[in-house]
Structure 1
């Protein structure tokens, strides 16, 4: 009986030591993800937004349907994940996503700015310093129909 109690007690002490060792040293913790290239601070985002307001808003609004142009597009996480899954399934050579500004003129003359995205593939003729290493995939579907900010002219941050 003394041997059994000692064995159980030793096992419990060993489990506790391993528990605290693992937790203290993050052994078994989920790996951290490296941040993406181009990650910017909120201060930088505000500066970019202010630059757009200073250099582009007046011109864009002057040609937009209704006199106030969109300045943002919103896509749900689910839609973006689904889109990435579709384009990767259609072509396993996708290197990234390129975003374009466009004008949706379905509302009337002048339209509203929209942002659409298309997948890219490696450029077989890539030469560093001469051209882009990624070409748009001309056969892939793009993603558009994001929701504009409300009101459309509201800048960042849009609460």
Structure 2
């Protein structure tokens, strides 16, 4: 499968998934989850991720005009982070998540083989750093690095 349905899209379509494990489940709140297969070139991965996020973002951010106001920033950051990870991909698939907690949009894309380069090496990071209030990486489950960025939601 190329792109998975997010919890937002599942609720839009009236679908539900059974929990993977019995007992209490961790609730992360509204999110978009995507998975891009290994057959994608970096350009195709960017296009697929941006199209999926663009399609589901209005539902994720429903009821929050300030969040909707930064939706172009969100898709720009997704585009750049997917590009960076796709060109140095450690795992077979590129996994991503966009989470909205009411105050921030957090975007996580993984897994990248090496650490984040400096913006001089990766010019797309200049744009990302201009749009976010924080950016970083952490060790992923597959031995690579998950790159993340946080976009603040300002009251307008």
Normalised by the length of structure 1, the TM-score is 0.30
**Structure ID, larger Rg:** 1
Structure with the largest fraction of strand: 2
Normalised by the length of structure 2, the TM-score is 0.30
